[in-house]
Amino acid sequence: MTKRYWNINLEEMMEAGVHFGHGTRKWNPRMAPYISAKRKGIHITNLTRTARFLSEACDLLFDAASGGKHFLIVGTKKKAADSVASAAIRARCHYVNKKWLGGMSTNWSTTETRLQNFRDLRAEQKAGKIDRLPKRDAAMLKRQLSTLQTYLGGIKYMTGLPDIVIIVDQQEDYTALRECVILGIPTICLIDTNSDPDLADISIPANDDAIASIRLILNKLVFAICEGRSSYIRNR
């Protein structure tokens, strides 16, 4: 994996509050190597280590994108939902930003069936077939379509399991992380001071509660994906 320069600036991370962790009583002792200080009852993350692992993650994503790999971004925390969707769309990644349905990856055949049903309903709606049905039937199908859009809208073009999964909040999306571990899918995960740094393939110590922090980390990661995709296109 070739190392590259990703313009990861410590001052920029401080301004985004990346270094703020949880209260000192709410922490995982395994995070000790990633914590640099305590301040006013909260742990402060060592941003030098954040920069190191963020850079490693960017290198991995660039190389994977250069090889035409596919990515999934998972972040179902309400405050992160818009940032996850925006970042994923910008980098042409799949995403889940509402709820991780248990077995979404480990029971992929069921997910495929749901996705096909979703695509069929979208096609029927686009063709105007649903509107020609009796009102009660049309209303039922529209509710079903709305539900599928909420939970599967970000993965509607997925045709197989992703090559790499980016997870915004380990605590919130632990089920997604565990499924990736079971299937051997490489993961990149933001970890706050209450997380376990040993679960993901690359863990990035960062504030996973502040929108500015989440957005900054995601922007760096998807920039690496975009650069990798450009390299892939040039070399085809």
95 shares its domain with 166: yes
- The pLDDT of residue 105 is above 70: yes
pLDDT per residue as tens digits for the range 147-202: 999 999 999 999 999 999 999 999 999 999 999 999 999 999 999 999 999 999 99
CATH classification at residue 67: 3.40.50.10490
Is the CB of residue 75 less than 8 Å from the CB of residue 97? yes
30 shares its domain with 79: yes
Work out the average pLDDT over 28-53.
94
21 shares its domain with 65: yes
25 shares its domain with 93: yes
- The pLDDT of residue 2 is above 80: no
- The pLDDT of residue 121 is above 70: yes
Instruction: Identify the domain containing residue 170 by its residue range.
Output: 17-105+161-235
Average pLDDT value over all residues in the chain: 94
pTM across the whole model: 0.94
Query: What local confidence, expressed as pLDDT, does residue 233 receive?
Result: 80
217 shares its domain with 231: yes
How many separate helices (H) and strands (E) can be counted in the chain? Answer: 7, 8
Rounded CA separation 219/32 (Å): 27
Residue 217 lies in a domain: yes
| Structural domain ending residue among the three candidates 153, 186, 218 | 153
CATH classification at residue 121: 1.10.287.610
Number of compact structural domains in the chain: 2
